[in-house]
């Protein structure tokens, strides 16, 4: 992967690892650039690696995508509550929209996110349905 200086500054650091920001008081915030904890205001933040598994807690199906997602519609994007408790906005790929629901178990996977100028390819975390996860109680696996 190459990252031009211009694209890098536009896009922020590439998200090759899945992490959250942990503040001095132990609160977790999503992975984007933070300068304070949203819960307590602490300005001491460090990265914490996440296991990569979680549950789809809210989602939508996009039929009119932005430029970088043209051709992928309809696609699922939503909020994933990671097992560590932090909320991640991310697409869920490799699954038909009708096959996901609130509560679907998902796991992170590194995928191409967008094509940049001059053929640059940007990778980041998307999610796929976690078929290894135990089915919720009361539902057939």
Partner 1 sequence: MRVGVLGIGKTPHKIQHGKSLRGLAVESGRAAISDAGLDPADIQALYVGNVGSVGFNYENSTGLMIAHHLGVVPAGSVRVEAACGTGAWALHLGCVAILSGLYDTVMVLGAEKMNDLATVEGTSIIAQAADSKEEYFSGLTFPSGVALTARKYMQTYGLTEEDLAHTSVKNHHYGARNPYAHLRFECTVEEVMRSAKVADPLKLYEVCPMTDASSALVLCREEILRDQPDKPQVYVTATQMATGTWYAATDTLDDAHALFAAPAERAYTMAGIAADDVDVAEIYNSFAIQEPLGIEGLGFAEKGKGWQGAADGSTWIDGEVGINLSGGLLCKGHPLGATGTTQAVDVVEQLRGTAPPDMQRRDAAIGVSACRGGPGAVGAIHVYQRLEG
- Residues 12/122, Cβ–Cβ less than 8 Å: no
| Position 38 contacts partner 1 (CB under 8 A) | yes
Nearest residue to 79 (alpha-carbon basis) of 106, 47, 48, 113: 106
Which of 79, 120, 123, 133: binder of partner 1 (CB under 8 A)?
A: 79
Give 101 or 141: the residue with its C-beta nearer to partner 1. 101
Question: Per CB under 8 A, which region of 17-25, 41-49, 69-77, 133-141 contacts partner 1?
Answer: 69-77
Q: Annotate each residue in 2-31 with x if it binds partner 1 (CB under 8 A) or - if it does not, as one string.
A: --------xxx-----------------xx
- Count Cα atoms within 13 angstroms, Cβ side, for 74: 11
Which of 75, 104, 106, 108 contacts partner 1 by CB under 8 A?
75
**51: Cβ contacts below 8 Å, ≥ 6 apart:** 82, 83, 84
* Closest C-alpha among 32, 34, 52 to residue 43: 34
Q: Which of 21, 22, 78, 104 binds partner 1 (CB under 8 A)?
A: 78
Answer for which of 60, 85, 94, 115 binds partner 1 (CB under 8 A) is 60
């Amino acid at each position: 992967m190459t990252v031009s200086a211009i694209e890098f500054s536009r896009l922020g650091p590439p998200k090759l690892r899945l992490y959250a920001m942990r503040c001095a008081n132990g609160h977790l915030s999503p992975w984007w650039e933070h300068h304070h904890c949203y819960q307590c205001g602490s300005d001491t933040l460090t990265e914490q690696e996440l296991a990569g598994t979680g549950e789809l807690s809210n989602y939508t199906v996009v039929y009119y995508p932005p430029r970088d997602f043209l051709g992928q519609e309809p696609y699922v994007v939503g909020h994933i509550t990671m097992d560590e408790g932090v909320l991640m906005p991310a697409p869920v790929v490799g699954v038909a929209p009708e096959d996901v629901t609130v509560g679907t178990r998902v796991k992170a996977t590194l995928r191409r996110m967008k094509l940049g100028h001059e053929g640059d390819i940007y990778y980041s975390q998307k999610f796929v349905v976690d078929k290894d996860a135990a089915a919720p109680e009361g539902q057939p696996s």
